[in-house]
């Protein structure tokens, strides 16, 4: 009888874990967004982002360093607040210069950023 109770208890525990997991994971994706980052060795015309501007937008610094990104660094998950602030900054830079890629402060290479919501 003890074995039966253990099996039932483990079964109930597994069901509870699955229910919690099915509730928590979708909320994570509802409250997150992502940026695709591509690094290039060269660029014909780059938009310069100063070190001071990077300090005001730490999300950019984080994603170009690969923090919170997939293994190859291309897909970076961030909060909606970070997404909106970063997107607005980048879109304003693009609107003011009409260039193709970015040079971020002292970082090597050139970057393009694409903003996606799940």
Whether 30 shows a pLDDT value over 90: the answer reads no
**CA 30 vs CA 7, 16, 36, 60, 84: distances in Å:** 35, 22, 18, 21, 14
Q: Is the pLDDT score of 112 beyond 60?
A: yes
Confidence of residue 37 (pLDDT cuts 50, 70, 90): confident
Count of the separate structural domains present in the chain: 2
Indicate if 70 and 95 belong to the same structural domain. Answer: yes
Tokens read off for 51: 């070190």
Domain that holds residue 10: 1-30
Same-domain check for residues 65 and 107? yes
Q: Which of 5-9, 17-21, 55-59, 96-100 has the highest mean pLDDT?
A: 55-59
Averaged pLDDT score across all residues of the chain = 78
Q: What is the pLDDT of residue 50?
A: 92
**Do residues 23 and 38 share a domain?**
no
Q: Strand ranges (DSSP E) for 56-118? A: 75-79, 101-104, 110-116
Structure tokens at 52: 């001071």
Residue 115: name the closest of 55, 32, 43, 49 by CA. Answer: 32
pTM of the model: 0.64
pLDDT at 66 over 80: yes
39 forms beta bridges with 111
């Amino acid at each position: 009888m003890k074995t039966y109770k253990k099996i039932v208890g483990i079964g109930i525990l597994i069901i509870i874990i699955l229910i919690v997991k099915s509730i928590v994971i979708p909320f994570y994706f509802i409250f997150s967004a992502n940026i695709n980052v591509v690094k290039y060795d060269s660029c014909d015309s780059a938009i310069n982002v100063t070190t001071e501007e990077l300090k005001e937008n730490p999300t950019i610094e984080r994603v170009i360093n690969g923090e919170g990104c997939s293994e190859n660094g291309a897909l970076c998950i961030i909060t909606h607040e970070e997404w909106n602030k970063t997107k607005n900054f980048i879109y304003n830079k693009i609107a003011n210069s009409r260039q193709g890629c970015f040079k971020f402060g002292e970082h090597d290479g050139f970057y393009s950023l694409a903003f996606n919501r799940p």
